[in-house]
């Protein structure tokens, strides 16, 4: 499962104005059905009361290492033993310095010192404090300990200054958490993914395109990165934000996508072409806006380059090429035909007529087809579908590019 459902997250909140955002993170974790326990430092409680986190997490908040109740006995040991990951957000300069020195003078620092689970540190402070040599030295020290330290966001800070020091966005922290829990079975693999539609100009205002949202391609890129791959994402015009931690190249037309893909294909071990490239382009786009006319509009269309077929003809030994086919009927036959004609190793066929699969929805139901067989993937989220596709690719890699379905 691609999400955080059932994961036990220990959230340490320290003294920063960004502590209020930790409350939002708590809500986001609970919404994903993660089990959240919160540790508040004394300074953090000056910004956000414990009752807020208790209400959002549905559990009591841990504050005092010497609390006078049986549940608090050995809390610094038990809390980390009962969690899957420890997130410190916001991590103030003081807390980072304390952890780098190996101090254990409050509940949070003691829990971190006793932890045998992954630790994710999310700094938040004034830009000058963040860039101070002492803070940078402390961050390097934490990374040497094996902790994962996120880069803070950049922009206007609470003090009115502009620079690095904002608490990282929740989406970035979520990706880091998901990477912690994901298998590392694609580590070191260079992966190229395409996503979204293309736009073929009619005039400076109008264009030909399709309904692709890019969600499937972006899910493939994100899940590959979580599993350790080095990912390049070539995306057509979509409204999705760039996934963190990878090279993202934005294009408009099929020709632009082809240029970017062909320039990077030779260095890629796995290529997944999930983009819905326009089959046709206007032969001669107008330089100026075409005016309305009672006579209608006639367009002369010519075929676009078939990027997937060209990749198949150029495919190197041991390179894996995965294609997509959006079909409304004869799924198996069309999928097998395209697999063979375009020299693919795997094709993903989805039914575009399904109300919960295909374009601009968050779920998908696909059939994976290779030269020796097929596998029906039931309806699930696009991120879970992406993991199923990567499982099939990983099986091919392990079998020397053989079939996972034979």
Residues 123, 151: Cα–Cα separation, whole Å? 7
> Is 122 one of the annotated active-site residues of the chain?
no
Determine the 3-state secondary structure of 157 from DSSP.
coil
Query: Look-up: residue for tokens 């986190």?
Result: 53
Maximum pairwise Cα distance, the chain: 86
Residues 404, 395: Cα–Cα separation, whole Å? 6
Residues 47, 19: Cα–Cα separation, whole Å? 7
The single residue of 65, 159, 240, 395 carrying the catalytic annotation is 159
H/E stretch holding 405 reads: none
DSSP state of 13: E
Determine the 3-state secondary structure of 385 from DSSP.
helix
Question: Are the beta carbons of 213 and 196 closer than 8 angstroms?
Answer: yes
Residues 281, 300: Cα–Cα separation, whole Å? 9
DSSP state of 106: S
Active site members: 159
């Amino acid at each position: 499962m691609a999400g955080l459902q059932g994961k036990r997250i220990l959230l340490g909140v320290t003294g920063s104005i960004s502590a209020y955002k930790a409350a939002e993170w708590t809500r986001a974790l609970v919404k994903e059905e993660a089990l959240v326990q919160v540790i508040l430092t004394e300074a953090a409680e000056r910004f956000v009361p414990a009752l807020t986190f208790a209400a959002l997490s549905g559990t009591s908040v841990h504050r005092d290492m010497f609390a006078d109740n049986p549940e608090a006995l050995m809390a610094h040991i038990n809390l980390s033993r009962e969690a899957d990951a420890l997130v410190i957000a916001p991590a103030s300069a003081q807390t980072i310095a304390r952890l780098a020195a190996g101090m254990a003078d409050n509940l949070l620092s003691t829990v971190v010192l006793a932890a045998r689970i992954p630790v994710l540190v999310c700094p938040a402070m004034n830009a000058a404090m963040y860039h101070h040599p002492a803070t940078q030295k402390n961050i390097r020290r934490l990374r040497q300990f094996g902790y994962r330290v996120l880069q803070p966001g950049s922009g206007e800070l609470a003090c009115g200054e502009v620079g690095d020091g904002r608490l990282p966005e929740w989406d970035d922290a979520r990706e880091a958490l998901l990477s912690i829990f994901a298998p590392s079975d694609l580590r070191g693999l260079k992966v190229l993914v395409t996503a979204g539609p293309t736009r073929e100009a009619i005039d400076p205002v109008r264009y030909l395109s399709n309904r692709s949202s890019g969600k499937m391609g972006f899910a493939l890129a994100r899940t590959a990165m979580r599993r350790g791959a080095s990912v390049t994402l070539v995306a057509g015009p979509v409204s999705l934000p760039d996934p963190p931690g990878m090279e993202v190249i934005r294009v408009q037309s099929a020709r632009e996508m082809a240029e970017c893909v062909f320039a990077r294909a030779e260095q890629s071990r796995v290529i997944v072409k999930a983009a819905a490239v326009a089959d046709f382009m206007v032969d001669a786009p107008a330089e100026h806006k075409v005016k309305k006319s009672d006579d209608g509009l006639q367009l002369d269309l010519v075929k676009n380059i078939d990027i997937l077929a060209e990749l198949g003809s150029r495919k190197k030994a041991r390179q894996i090429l995965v294609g997509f086919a959006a079909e409304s009927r004869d799924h198996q036959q069309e999928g097998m035909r395209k697999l063979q004609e375009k020299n693919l190793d795997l094709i993903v066929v989805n039914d575009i007529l399904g109300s919960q699969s295909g374009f601009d929805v968050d779920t998908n139901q696909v059939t994976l087809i290779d030269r020796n067989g097929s596998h029906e993937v039931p309806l699930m989220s696009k991120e879970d579908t992406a993991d199923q596709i990567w499982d099939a690719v990983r099986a091919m890699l392990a079998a020397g590019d053989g079939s996972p379905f034979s």
